[in-house]
Chain A
Amino acid sequence: EVQLVESGGGLVQRGGSLRLSCATSGFTFDNYAMHWVRQVPGKGLEWVSGIGWNSGRIGYADSVKGRFTISRDNAKHSLYLQMNSLRAEDTALYYCAKDFSPRYGYSGFDMWGQGTMVTVSS
Chain B
Amino acid sequence: DIQMTQSPSSLSASVGDRVTITCRASQVISNSLAWYQQKPGKAPKLLLHAASILEYGVPSRFSGGGSGSDYTGTDYTLTISSLQPEDFATYYCQQYYSTPLLTFGGGTKVEIK
Q: Which residues of A contact B (CB under 8 A)?
A: 35, 44-47, 50, 52, 57-59, 61-62, 95, 100, 106-110, 112-115
Contacts and interface: CB of A to CB of B under 8 A. Distances in A.
Q: Per DSSP, are chain B's interface residues mostly helix, strand or loop, or mixed? A: loop
B43 A115 contact: yes
B106 A59 contact: no
Given A44-B107, A45-B44, A100-B46, A108 B100 contact: no
Contacts, number: 62
B96 A108 contact: yes
Nearest to B42: A114
A44 B106 contact: yes
A61 B101 CA distance: 7
A59 B92 contact: no
Nearest to B41: A114
B46 A107 contact: no
A106 B99 contact: yes
B43 A95 contact: yes
Contact of A107 (B1, B43, B49, B55): B49
Nearest to A44: B107
